[in-house]
Structure 1
Amino acid sequence: MAGVLAPSPAGATPNRLKRKAPDSSDAATTSTSAGEDEAAAGLEEEVEDLEREVADLGRRILEHRRDAATRFLDATVSRLAAFRPTACPEVPGEQQSVAGTSHAEADQDKLEKLKIFKSKTEASIAAMPKVLQKMNKCVAQMEKLEKLNVTIHPVFQRKR
């Protein structure tokens, strides 16, 4: 495309080969009409070639756009998959201890830990009524203090 020459003031593109000047005026008219026909045919060929190149470039651009979109999607999916946390995170200390043991021993350790967790949870649930009683006593004392008309230093007052 960079090699395409602009049309001359006569309207045809100049031929790249040097021409000899015609000897007579009759030869000049026949050579100019033949030269114009050749130039027109050459110009039509160049236009057709350029149209083919433009069509080819358009097709290649569309293919590149489609390929770029799929590459972008694939890269995004793989990047998100890399950031996704694992389904069952392991503690590094457990990994080392479990690595040397068999699966049965690892399952046994997990069962023991689960039993300990269950017993601690049951103990916390059993202690809840006592905690609830203490909380009720504290709330009653606070209400009692609020009923008293005592001046409380502003540092200890709640902002409302």
Structure 2
Amino acid sequence: MSSNNPNQTIRSPEKPESKFEDESEEEEAEELEQLETQVKQMAKKILEYRATLPDQLKTTLALLLSSQRPLLPDCDSGSDPGPSGELNPDSGGQDKSSRAALLTKEDRKTAEKVHLLKEKISSNVSTMPVVLKRMKDCISRINKLDSYNGSIHPAFKKKRTS
């Protein structure tokens, strides 16, 4: 049975390379185990970072923002809503008398001035609709007088002295 087919392969008996292959398979298995343990460790670290990192970023951002906020004397009780409509979170839990004890004389004067300014602004804002209504009434009266084509009532004419 001899054929001259070039595609036919000739098998040879087992070579001593099989020991080398077994060793390389063992090395690959060890390396695979090491990689699996490394992946497990990395997964644990990622889970740990996911749990702690948002809180760390939140506290860091809050500290950064509070350090850039100008220091103003606090004269309110904190019950006034802030610009966002929420209660002031910075003033919670502090007693008014303890804060007043910490303020110096100049700080107290400044706090009083700020408080008075806030009161004046709020009173001006509350009276604004009444003032606007009166202004509209006056403007309508002036327009009504202009519609008389320049004729002035005799009561409003100035008496000329000769």
Q: Into which bin does the TM-score normalised by the smaller protein fall?
A: 0.3 to 0.5
Name the larger-Rg structure: 1
* Higher helix residue share: 1
